[in-house]
């Protein structure tokens, strides 16, 4: 086989407790990190999404999904994540026609302040509650679904 059927992409849902001083709306006490994709991105440019990227392990790599999501979150927004837990997976086609297998993980935030570190990929970062992200028009339905599924996994622990 000369060509792979799918690119494997790994997304990380990073959650944190909401700053109580800013909690004036009475909604959720958990915020989720979403990145604003750069206008230069080939897929979903200008929309909010989850930090992550392509799986690029070397031969024999253990915990390749976990290593990828940790690396991508640190590279894109400067956060360190600890525990990584599987949430769900699905397939999609990029705006440029690539077939992707997307693996979504729930990531434990252990350090760092989120900020765009790769402006050609990430234009801005946003910490949003579920209610906040549901109200935005720049959050694709699949991103909302991934965050909801991650929230359900976290709630079941």
Considering the chain, what is the average pLDDT of its residues? 88
**138-151: pLDDT as tens digits:** 999 999 999 999 99
Q: CATH second-level architecture of 7-155?
A: Alpha-Beta Complex (3.90)
Cβ neighbours around 125 below 10 Å, total: 20
The SS3 assignment for 155 reads: helix
β-strands 30-37, 7-17: how paired? Answer: antiparallel
Is residue 128 within 8 Å of 138, Cβ to Cβ?
no
**79-117: pLDDT as tens digits:** 999 999 999 999 988 877 888 999 999 999 999 999 999
DSSP lists the bridge partners of residue 127 as 33
pTM: 0.87
The pLDDT of residue 1 is above 50: no
Residue 24 makes CB contacts below 8 A (sequence gap 6+) with none
Tokens of 39: 């206008």
Residue 42 CB-density burial (10 A; 0-12 exposed, 13-18 middle, 19+ buried): exposed
């Amino acid at each position: 086989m000369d060509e792979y059927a799918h690119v494997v992409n790994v997304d990380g849902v990073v959650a944190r407790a909401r700053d109580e001083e800013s909690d004036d709306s009475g909604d959720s006490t958990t915020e989720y990190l979403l990145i604003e994709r750069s206008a230069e991105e080939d897929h979903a440019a200008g929309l909010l999404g989850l930090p992550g990227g392509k799986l690029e392990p070397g031969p024999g790599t253990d915990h390749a999904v976990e290593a990828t999501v940790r690396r991508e979150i640190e590279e894109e927004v400067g956060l360190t994540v600890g525990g990584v837990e599987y949430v769900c997976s699905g397939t999609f086609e990029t705006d440029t026609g690539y077939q992707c297998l997307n693996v979504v993980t729930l990531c434990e935030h252990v350090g760092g302040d989120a900020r765009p570190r790769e402006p050609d990929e990430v234009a801005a970062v946003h910490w949003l509650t579920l209610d906040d992200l549901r109200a935005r028009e720049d959050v694709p339905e699949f991103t909302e679904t991934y965050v909801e599924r991650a929230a359900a996994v976290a709630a079941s622990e």
